[in-house]
């Protein structure tokens, strides 16, 4: 599936290192044999289209820095959500999506992540799913020809395979697919990983992995393999279907500053997830 001498297809999201500079992100990834970085904000800016290092006149240098370290950008994480029913608000979300698609094309990232994200009170389920699918289809039409695919993340109110499958079928676009946040479908969607992959595997292009344990009425993120989320089974389920994307660690340090520092969590993920991949036959 992967070249024998290549790095394992591991990556991490910059959501986990909100204080790191662009050079720090790239240097750490290369030093710990990650193959890719997923961009979800850099330092104080969540809008990647406004990050100085990714400005049009500096993109060439950014791409040279990535190439020099043997790194790819696996995905750009937009905040755009497709559930807005107000026409002006919906248009603003689509505009953000288009800006991220343009940036993805320029930097060579294959995917732009967007959200569903919520069921709107008073809107029938079928109408809600059609509305979200319509937004995805619009962005997919824009992304076609730019070598970019728009991926909806299993997140928010949409963490069950039934709803996600319906949305993806309604979107009916070769430029629309799924980012499987495997934590959310297990914890919120109450699905075993093998079941999720069986139902949605043909749409999965990118993946978020993380582990957690119950903490009162919420969850607390913990180091990979030390919690209750079956990360190894999630990886195995993807390998079994010939998934060829990256296994991206989403350590939510930006939203949960109390969790372990990225230097610890990223390195531990590389060791543990790397072991899971090798055990599954990926070399």
Per residue in 68-120, pLDDT (tens digit) is: 999 999 999 999 999 999 999 999 999 999 999 999 999 999 999 999 999 99
Determine the pLDDT at residue 283: 86
Taking Cα atoms as reference points, which of 47, 36, 147 lies closest to residue 97? Answer: 47
Per residue in 150-185, pLDDT (tens digit) is: 999 999 999 999 999 999 999 999 999 999 999 999
Q: Using CA atoms in the order 123, 128, 131, 136, what is the torsion angle rounded to 10 degrees?
A: 150
pTM of the model: 0.96
Taking Cα atoms as reference points, which of 205, 168, 209 lies closest to residue 186? Answer: 209
Determine the pLDDT at residue 275: 98
pLDDT surpasses 60 at 23: yes
pLDDT above 90 as % of the chain: 97
**Local confidence band at 239 (pLDDT 50, 70, 90 cut-offs):** very high
pLDDT surpasses 90 at 208: yes
Distance from C-alpha of 169 to C-alpha of 154, rounded to nearest angstrom: 15
pLDDT surpasses 50 at 186: yes
Average pLDDT over residues 252-280: 98
Instruction: Copy the structure tokens of residue 184.
Output: 């959310």
Residues 6+ apart with CB under 8 A from 112: 75, 76, 78, 97, 100, 101, 104, 139, 143, 148, 149, 150, 151
Average pLDDT over residues 233-242: 98
Domain ranges of the chain: 10-279
pLDDT surpasses 80 at 6: no
Determine the pLDDT at residue 51: 97
pLDDT surpasses 60 at 2: no
Determine the pLDDT at residue 238: 98
Render 142-201 in DSSP notation, one character per residue: HHTTTT-EEEEESBTTB-SHHHHHHHHHHH--TTEEEEEEHHHHHHTS---HHHHHHHHG
Fold entry, domain 10-279: TIM Barrel (3.20.20)
Q: How many CB atoms lie within 10 A of CB 189?
A: 21
The answer to whether the beta carbons of residues 223 and 260 sit under 8 Å apart is yes
């Amino acid at each position: 599936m992967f070249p024998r001498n290549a790095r394992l297809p591991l990556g991490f999201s910059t959501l986990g290192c909100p204080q790191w500079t662009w050079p720090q992100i790239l240097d750490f990834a290369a030093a710990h044999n990650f193959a890719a970085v997923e961009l979800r904000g850099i330092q104080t800016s969540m809008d990647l289209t406004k990050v100085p290092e990714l400005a049009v006149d500096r993109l060439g240098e950014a791409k040279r820095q990535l190439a020099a370290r043997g790194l790819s950008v696996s995905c750009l994480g937009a905040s755009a959500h497709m559930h807005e029913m107000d026409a002006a608000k919906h248009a603003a979300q689509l505009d953000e999506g288009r800006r991220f698609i343009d940036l993805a094309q320029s930097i060579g990232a294959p995917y732009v992540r967007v959200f569903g994200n919520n069921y709107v009170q008073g809107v029938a389920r079928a109408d809600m799913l059609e509305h979200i699918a319509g937004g995805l289809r619009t962005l997919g039409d824009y992304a076609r020809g730019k070598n970019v695919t728009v991926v909806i993340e299993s997140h928010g109110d949409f963490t069950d395979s039934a709803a996600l499958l319906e949305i993806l079928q309604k979107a009916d676009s070769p430029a629309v697919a799924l980012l499987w946040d495997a934590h959310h479908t297990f914890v919120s969607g109450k699905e075993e990983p093998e079941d999720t992959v069986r139902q949605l595997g043909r749409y999965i292009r990118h993946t978020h992995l993380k582990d957690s344990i119950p903490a009162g009425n919420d969850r607390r993120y913990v180091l990979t393999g030390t919690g209750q989320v079956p990360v190894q089974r999630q990886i195995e389920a993807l390998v079994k279907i010939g998934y060829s994307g990256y296994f991206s660690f989403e350590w939510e340090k930006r939203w949960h500053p109390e969790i372990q520092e990225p230097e610890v969590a990223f390195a531990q993920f590389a060791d543990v997830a790397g072991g899971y991949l090798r055990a599954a036959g990926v070399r």
